[in-house]
Amino acid sequence: MKVTSIPSLTVETNQGQQPTLPSYVEVELEDNMKAKFPVNWENVNATEIKKGETVELEGTVYQRDYPNPFIEQRADPYLYKHTDGYYYFTGSYPLYDRVVLRRAKTIDELPQAEEVIVWTKHESGILSEHIWAPELHYINGKWYLYVAGGDKDDVWAIRPYVFENSSANPLEGKWIEKGQINTSFQSFSLDATTFEHDGKRYLIWAQKVEEFSDNPISNLYIAEMENPWTIKEQHFLSTPDIPWEQYGFYVNEGPAVIKNDGKIFIAYSGSATDDRYSMGLLTADENSDLLNADSWSKSPEPVFVTSEATSEYGPGHNSFSVDEDGFDIFVYHARPYKEIEGNPLYDHNRHARMQRLFWQEDGTPYFGYPGEKVDFNNQKVKATIKVN
């Protein structure tokens, strides 16, 4: 993505006083998009400037860069910034046998932060196989983990479960199993996420419709929540009815919610978990009935797909967060190669990655392509300092 222009600024100050220069400036991007970026200004000593004079300054506009991959072998990544100032990170552990958490004051520190095992699978019965896609949420003063798990006697009997922790720090204290989420029918279910809107809490998850046994369909469902581990009536939300969602398997899964400009957006993933895995987008008006599938429109094309140019294959199962500047970011997983030997679920090089989420002129999100960078084309922001 290229920067098309950086508007100049005029800043006034009084003689003998240092000018107050903005920490962020808005730049114009391709496709009529605008976005703010941090800026480093040249030093200026206003005490040496006489009244009535003007001075021209330049500033270097930049984008925060994070390691790519961000954290290796952590599929289904989930990043959350809490009110305690810490970033919390989790994801599917390669052995699918535990839930791990790490935290740090900055995003840069997360890859080196200590990873703590907060829960380990059962030896038998429920939650004894395929511990997948944990998400960490803070609700009504307590921490909750939403995680999927199977049964050693039936490894594909995967269902969504909820754990609770009353500690201030979720890496400490005891996680209490609150049980399986009470979906209205029993089948392969996973990727539960929760969000609050207009005083109500909702749950969205993926669940297979088993009657299509030759090629089971994984739909998205939504429900209002009675409490963090109990849902009310289950409602259909989306089915994989577009060709890009049907490569290998018919899949809608991995929902993640973000709001902007009076709209609610659900990013989700579709198709088999190889290089064809991609992300789509559902959109609803914030004042609509979110439990009604007709309130949601689906983008006809995927919004985030494999990039041969950056060697990121099968991007998907994202989460949304904010960076240290308060800008929206999204975290996703992708492999560094296309060819996979055996079952993709056991190829563990789906690395966690992240990048900036931009907003288009119509208020919809712009994901770009995996590994995309902003090209400032050596342009700098210019400021005219007027001394009164």
Q: Give me the pLDDT at residue 214, please.
A: 66
**355 contacts 371 by C-beta, under 8 angstroms:** yes
Residue 275 shares a structural domain with residue 230: yes
The phi, psi pair for 222, rounded to 5°, reads -135, 150
Structural domain includes residue 126 = no
The phi, psi pair for 231, rounded to 5°, reads -105, 160
CA torsion angle 181 186 188 192 (round to 10): -20
Residue 32 shares a structural domain with residue 55: yes
Dump pLDDT digits (tens) for 341-353.
Answer: 999 999 999 999 9
Structural domain includes residue 143 = no
Q: Which of 151, 253, 312, 323 is catalytic?
A: 253
Q: Assign 298 to helix, strand or coil.
A: strand
Structural domain includes residue 349 = yes
Residue 319 shares a structural domain with residue 203: yes
Dump pLDDT digits (tens) for 12-47.
Answer: 888 878 888 999 999 999 989 999 999 999 887 766
**128 contacts 150 by C-beta, under 8 angstroms:** yes
Q: Rounded distance, CA 98 to CA 128, Å?
A: 10
Q: Which of 76, 151, 245, 275 is catalytic?
A: 76
- Strands 217-227 and 250-251, by their bridges, are parallel
Residue 198: partners with Cβ closer than 8 Å, 6 or more residues away: 286
The secondary structure of residue 369, as a DSSP letter, is S
CATH code for position 228:
2.115.10.20
Secondary structure (DSSP) of 127-144: TSEEEEEEEEEEETTEEE
Of 250, 242, 269, nearest to 333 by C-alpha is 269
105-109: which pairs have CB atoms within 8 A and are 24 or more residues apart? 106/324, 107/64, 107/66, 107/79, 107/323, 107/324, 107/354, 108/66
Dump pLDDT digits (tens) for 177-231.
Answer: 999 999 999 999 999 999 999 999 999 999 999 755 567 899 999 999 999 999 9
Which is more confidently placed, 367 or 65? Answer: 367
Is 198 one of the annotated active-site residues of the chain? no
Residue 381 shares a structural domain with residue 241: no
Residue 261 shares a structural domain with residue 379: no
Residue 358 shares a structural domain with residue 380: no
Q: Give me the pLDDT at residue 47, please.
A: 67
Secondary structure (DSSP) of 210-263: TT--SS-EEEEEEEEEEETTEEEEEEEEE---SGGG-SSSEE-EEEEEEEETTE
Would you say residue 254 has pLDDT above 80? yes
Residue 104 shares a structural domain with residue 250: yes
Residue 105 shares a structural domain with residue 251: yes
Q: Rounded distance, CA 116 to CA 114, Å?
A: 6
Average pLDDT over every residue of 61-82: 96
Average pLDDT over every residue of 284-291: 98
Is 341 one of the annotated active-site residues of the chain? no
Residue 107 shares a structural domain with residue 206: yes
Structural domain includes residue 139 = no
End-to-end distance of the chain based on CA atoms, in angstroms?
A: 40
Residue 217 shares a structural domain with residue 324: yes
Q: Rounded distance, CA 3 to CA 357, Å?
A: 15
Average pLDDT over every residue of 315-337: 97
Domain that includes residue 201, residue range: 75-116+185-366
Domain count, the chain: 2
Residue 317 shares a structural domain with residue 258: yes
